[in-house]
Structure 1
Amino acid sequence: MYQDDYKRWKETDLIDFDLNKELNDIEGDDEAIKDRFAVALQFGTAGLRGTLGAGTNRMNIWVVRQATQGVADWVKTQGGTQTVAISYDSRLKGWNFAREAAGVLAANGINVRIYDELMPVPALSFATRYYNCNAGIMVTASHNPAKYNGYKAYGPDGCQMTDDAAAVVYDSIQKTDVLTGAKYMSFAEGVEKGLIKFVGDDCKEALYEAIESRQVRPGLCKTAGLKLVYSPLNGTGLVPVTRVLKDMGITDITIVPEQEYPNGYFTTCSYPNPEIFAALEKGLELAKEVGADLMLATDPDADRVGIAMKCPDGSYELVTGNEMGALLLDYICAGRIEKGTMPEKPVAVMSLVSTPLADAIAENYGVELRHVLTGFKWIGDQIAQLEAAGEVDRFIFGFEESYGYLAGPYVRDKDAVIGSMLICEMAAYYRSIGSSIKQRLEEIYAKYGRYYNKTD
């Protein structure tokens, strides 16, 4: 069966020269053919993710078209605006896949709002909500190595797709022939017919306004003199993160030069995951060189942020996702109480596998801390429940141990842009009172006790 599929693909004009070359290169290699064609990538609540290449078990324009036809079939049953938002990160073929998805949607009579530049996960979630879309598509493989790409699908609330919706999409994909089943028109034709439009500056500015409105102590950073080293890890973070930090008054920002601009090959960091030391190594070297107070790194789709903090002895220490979640919860609670901006009956949300230290902190500040299943969509679901009850302003913070943070209801996925903003504001605040993040963490341990944390 897989040999028949291989032959069919080989005899088809696949448009992408790389695919035809790959199929020619593996001719006669049964294992290589089997690996590419014996199974297909399976669409789930997290969409698709796989190695770039030819075949049904790889990420390529044909698999993207097939998946998008499944999304289109689902959207057409939903009514509403019949609109889908699309974004993409710096990964190889990301823009190609985004355009292919737009072409399939347009051919199905569905309106598309696509970013004209690579933008992170929170920007996609925001645009989905801003334009009242039926769905959103983010072309990304998050922090995986360079040979991967992926396709995340979002519901109309800006949350990753629910189990029920994903099952309907998957069923439709199963009925769609990968090479001939998807409707398609060129990107240019879709633009000409008015079906494909770019995300407007109004949407982009509204996102920045929403993020910056969540500052705990506005104006503080303008006089704190915080010195920062930042790495976008060759992903989408450079523009949005530096824009927000400069808007809030942080001007002493040194970017890791080798990791500044988008580069899907990730040549200086083979695994661009801010949870691991290797991803922060270049930034740490630069931080030591310039004497930075803080070093930040965001992953390629800028939904997670890792940090290294400067210690009193001049050394740098990595901060885990659990530690940073606890620090931010403490900072937001204390700051909002001080400023009189804490809502009545405040709610924070964290994943079940995150640190119980957060429970002790929340109890101290009178915050209801809700525990949800692993996956940020469940934090988004809690925000949606508050919104449905007319109480969305009660939500103050959500986090998971894998370096994902959110401090507002404007999006429904983790956001490294607001995470970076609040981490820097927190560092600036402690610096302004003669303290530091490290010192505050020790104070938290002294007050609530030390909690053992282990993550795989």
Structure 2
Amino acid sequence: MYKEAYERWLAFPLEDADLLPELENIRENDEEIRDRFAVNLEFGTAGLRGVIGAGTNRMNIYTVRQATQGLAAYLKEQKAEPSVAISYDSRNKNVAFAEAAAGVLAANGVKVYIYDTLMPTPALSFAVRALHCDAGIMVTASHNPAKYNGYKAYGPDGCQMTTESADAVYAKIQNSDIFDDVKHIPFAEGLAAGSISYIEPSVIADYYDNVKKQSVRPGVCEGAGLKLVYTPLNGTGNLPVRHILKEIGIDDITVVPEQEMPDGNFPTCPYPNPEIREALQLGLDLCKQTGADLLLATDPDADRVGIAVKDGDDYKLLTGNEVGVLLLDYICQARTEAGTMPKDPVYVRSIVTTSLADEVAKSYGVTPIKVLTGFKYIGETVLHLEQKGEEERFLFGFEESYGYLAGGYVRDKDAVVASMLICEMAAYYASIGSSIIEQLQRIYGTYGTYLHKVDSFEFEGLAGMELMKALMASLRREKIEEIGGCAVVMLEDYATQMTTDFTTGTQTAIDLPAANVLIYHLDCGASVIIRPSGTEPKIKVYYAAKADTPAAAETLQKKLAEGARDLLGL
């Protein structure tokens, strides 16, 4: 079947001039043909994501159009005249994919609102809500390498689409032919007819206003003399982040020149990921040249931010867990002092994010809420509070993967607001003769040293996906008794939604939706979490080690990492 699909694509009058030469080049390579055509890109809760190229298992205007046809059919069943907001980041084929989606929606009687330039993911979430749209599309592959692009689908609440809605859209997609069943019109025709409209500048201004409202110490940056290096990693953050920082009084910003302008090839780093030191190296070098206090780095769609802070004569990269705990502590302290802490405040974290944040939250009388991995679950928590008229209870939400949100104006992580709060936090601690590093040390001194690391193991292609499934199944079949020399005392299996306590033999239900996640709790006070990524061909292993000293925590974490590799046979 995949060979027939390949021949059909060869014969089809393909609009994208890059596709036919690619198909011709693999004519004698069965493995490459199979990889492109044996399966279709699956439309899940994160929409589509894949390598750019020809075929049903690739990102191209045809897979984008087919997915959008499914979305349009789904929306037309829900509402007579639905509308959709669209944005895109700096990825290759970004405009082509955004306009392809818009052309399909317009042809199906769905009103389209689209930004006239690249804008971050949080600005898409904001537009969905501000324009009262029924869905949203963000063309992005987040922090993946340059060969990838993607298509994130959003619901009317500004959250990424629910599993139920995504399944319904996917069913529509599966019942359609990629060429014959897709309606579409040229983008220019939709613009001329008024079925496609550009999003008004006032929406962007409202987004910026809502970001600024999340400040907890307004004015602290003015005259603080904060010296900053910033890199948008060739993505969408350059204008929005610099705009907000200027608005709050930060003028001394040096932008990494090689990474300033949008470039989907990301020429200075293979992974435009603020979690990875290599992506931040140019920024770190510039910090040393300029004597900056702080480095900020946002990923291509500007929903995540990484930082490095001055530490003596060098710069220390902080993890997503560390920044999240620091921001939570800063927000709680500031709002407590200002008397603006709401009644029954809550903060939200994912199950793979540090439990240290729970301890910090409780010290301020803030209730922790744990959700599954994926920021949409944090957004859904804000929605549920809003539906009860209690949105103000939400203080902060974050994931260890460098995603943060303060306020409910958007329902996804937002590197623009996070960048503002990080700079505000740095300026505040400097104003009292302290620093971000010193505050982190105070937190560790109070609650113990927590060390968190993540290993990602890649499994490319169809064979890789099959191996990932086999590894997870093997872990569930075998009773794992120890990891890195520490005995397993409890297992949380989110697929079966059961927790097993091996010391007592008791089982209790997990009150969260099913997910392919295993959490091993160990007798040494540490934990190991294993899960396949929902957006990349990877198995991720998270290590949480707690000890009295940083050295002891690091030694324990290394033992856990060795044990986990043995478990996975890697």
Cα distance in 2 for partners of 1:451, 1:103 equals 50
SS at match of 1:63: helix
Cα distance in 1 for partners of 2:355, 2:250 equals 33
* Counterpart amino acid of residue 427 in structure 1: A
SS at match of 1:454: strand
Which residue of structure 2 lines up, in the alignment, with residue 60 of structure 1?
60
Which residue of structure 2 lines up, in the alignment, with residue 332 of structure 1?
331
SS at match of 2:453: coil
Which residue of structure 2 lines up, in the alignment, with residue 240 of structure 1?
240
1:6–1:33 contact (8 Å) kept in structure 2: yes
The correspondence of residues 135-150 of structure 1 with structure 2, limited to 5 A, is 135-150=135-150
Which residue of structure 2 lines up, in the alignment, with residue 22 of structure 1?
22
* Counterpart amino acid of residue 378 in structure 2: I
SS at match of 1:191: helix
The correspondence of residues 116-265 of structure 1 with structure 2, limited to 5 A, is 116-265=116-265
Shift of residue 453, structure 1, vs aligned partner: 2.0
1:88–1:139 contact (8 Å) kept in structure 2: yes
The correspondence of residues 265-344 of structure 1 with structure 2, limited to 5 A, is 265-311=265-311, 313-344=312-343
Cα distance in 1 for partners of 2:256, 2:180 equals 45
Which residue of structure 2 lines up, in the alignment, with residue 365 of structure 1?
364
* Counterpart amino acid of residue 255 in structure 1: V
Which residue of structure 1 lines up, in the alignment, with residue 482 of structure 2?
none
The correspondence of residues 108-123 of structure 1 with structure 2, limited to 5 A, is 108-123=108-123
Cα distance in 2 for partners of 1:180, 1:289 equals 58
SS at match of 1:224: coil
Which residue of structure 2 lines up, in the alignment, with residue 348 of structure 1?
347
SS at match of 1:453: strand
2:347–2:396 contact (8 Å) kept in structure 1: yes
2:81–2:109 contact (8 Å) kept in structure 1: no
Query: TM-score normalized by structure 1?
Result: 0.99
The correspondence of residues 428-447 of structure 1 with structure 2, limited to 5 A, is 428-447=427-446
SS at match of 2:102: helix
* Counterpart amino acid of residue 231 in structure 2: S
SS at match of 2:342: coil
Which residue of structure 1 lines up, in the alignment, with residue 391 of structure 2?
392
1:272–1:300 contact (8 Å) kept in structure 2: yes
Cα distance in 2 for partners of 1:318, 1:288 equals 14
Percent sequence identity over aligned pairs: 62
Cα distance in 1 for partners of 2:358, 2:309 equals 24
Residue by residue over 1:258-317, the C-alpha shift from the partner in whole angstroms, topping out at 9 and shown as x without a partner, is 000000000001101111111111100000110000001000011100000101x22100
| Structure 1 residues 208 and 80, CA gap change in structure 2 (3 angstroms) | farther
1:81–1:133 contact (8 Å) kept in structure 2: no
Which residue of structure 2 lines up, in the alignment, with residue 403 of structure 1?
402
Shift of residue 339, structure 1, vs aligned partner: 1.7
Cα distance in 2 for partners of 1:407, 1:26 equals 48
Cα distance in 1 for partners of 2:13, 2:80 equals 37
Cα distance in 2 for partners of 1:233, 1:121 equals 15
SS at match of 2:113: strand
Cα distance in 1 for partners of 2:394, 2:449 equals 27
* Counterpart amino acid of residue 240 in structure 2: P
Which residue of structure 2 lines up, in the alignment, with residue 96 of structure 1?
96
Which residue of structure 1 lines up, in the alignment, with residue 424 of structure 2?
425
SS at match of 1:126: helix
* Counterpart amino acid of residue 303 in structure 2: D
Cα distance in 2 for partners of 1:363, 1:163 equals 32
SS at match of 2:413: coil
SS at match of 1:221: coil
Cα distance in 2 for partners of 1:359, 1:418 equals 22
1:210–1:410 contact (8 Å) kept in structure 2: yes
Cα distance in 2 for partners of 1:229, 1:383 equals 32
1:54–1:60 contact (8 Å) kept in structure 2: yes
* Counterpart amino acid of residue 217 in structure 1: R
Cα distance in 1 for partners of 2:139, 2:154 equals 11
Which residue of structure 1 lines up, in the alignment, with residue 87 of structure 2?
87
1:81–1:134 contact (8 Å) kept in structure 2: no
Q: Cα RMSD (Å) of the superposition?
A: 0.9
With 19-28 and 123-132 compared, the bigger mean Cα shift is at 19-28
Which residue of structure 2 lines up, in the alignment, with residue 379 of structure 1?
378
Shift of residue 363, structure 1, vs aligned partner: 0.8
* Counterpart amino acid of residue 430 in structure 1: Y
The correspondence of residues 44-55 of structure 1 with structure 2, limited to 5 A, is 44-55=44-55
1:234–1:261 contact (8 Å) kept in structure 2: yes
Query: TM-score normalized by structure 2?
Result: 0.79
* Counterpart amino acid of residue 116 in structure 1: D
Cα distance in 1 for partners of 2:85, 2:447 equals 44
SS at match of 2:273: coil
User: How many aligned positions are there?
Assistant: 455
* Counterpart amino acid of residue 430 in structure 2: R
* Counterpart amino acid of residue 172 in structure 1: K
SS at match of 1:136: strand
Cα distance in 2 for partners of 1:77, 1:222 equals 52
Structure 1 runs of 4+ with >4 Å offset: none
2:87–2:98 contact (8 Å) kept in structure 1: yes
Shift of residue 345, structure 1, vs aligned partner: 1.3
SS at match of 1:72: helix
1:78–1:134 contact (8 Å) kept in structure 2: no
Shift of residue 454, structure 1, vs aligned partner: 2.7
Shift of residue 21, structure 1, vs aligned partner: 1.3
Shift of residue 330, structure 1, vs aligned partner: 0.3
SS at match of 2:152: strand
SS at match of 2:441: helix
Cα distance in 1 for partners of 2:130, 2:55 equals 36
1:269–1:279 contact (8 Å) kept in structure 2: yes
1:80–1:134 contact (8 Å) kept in structure 2: no
Question: Over alpha carbons, which structure has the higher Rg?
Answer: 2
Q: Which has the higher strand share?
A: 2
Cα distance in 2 for partners of 1:348, 1:27 equals 54
Shift of residue 452, structure 1, vs aligned partner: 3.2
Shift of residue 81, structure 1, vs aligned partner: 5.3
Which residue of structure 1 lines up, in the alignment, with residue 498 of structure 2?
none
SS at match of 2:223: helix
Cα distance in 2 for partners of 1:24, 1:190 equals 33
Which residue of structure 2 lines up, in the alignment, with residue 452 of structure 1?
451
Runs (5+) with no aligned partner, structure 2: 456-570
Cα distance in 2 for partners of 1:366, 1:166 equals 37
Shift of residue 28, structure 1, vs aligned partner: 2.1
* Counterpart amino acid of residue 292 in structure 2: A
* Counterpart amino acid of residue 234 in structure 1: N
